Amino acid sequence: MIRMFSGILLMLAATWSGLSQAESVQASRGAAEQLTSILKGYETYQADFIQIVVNENGSQVQETRGSLKAKRPGLFYWETGAPLSQFIVSDGDKVEVYDPDLEQVTVHSLDERVQTTPALLLSGEV
């Protein structure tokens, strides 16, 4: 599963790097639809990831590593390490975001606005 997920993420990254914005959006939708069809066959899964932030010139400005665990419907746990440590947990009704640097927890109800986020693609009814 992780290999398939990694392959799709690489495909998304490749499409963004060489296409116009309109082409990129269209390719991203296709990749998201492909990921959705793969994920429909799984009730639970977990993965480690690397999130890379680039500036307008395409130069890397930040790298964060993390892990996620998900169980359908709506349950997920997302953790990232330094430099921006963060923990995100959903129980299917609400999403809680804990920021250790600020010693702060933010709670959001799982309304329509939140249900359109990528995390729900991973844990919700896709």
Q: Which helix (H) or strand (E) holds 52?
A: strand 44-54
Q: How far apart are CA 110 and CA 60, in angstroms?
A: 32
* Domain 43-126 classification at class level: mainly beta
Reading the chain (126 residues) residue by residue, the pLDDT tens digits are 444 445 445 444 544 444 455 565 666 677 777 877 777 777 888 889 898 889 999 899 999 999 989 887 778 899 999 888 999 998 888 889 999 999 999 998 876 555 555 555 555 554
- Backbone dihedral region for residue 58 (phi beyond 0: left; psi -120 to 50: alpha; all else: beta): left
Look up tokens 């990694």; give the residue. Answer: 6
Q: What is the pLDDT at residue 98?
A: 95
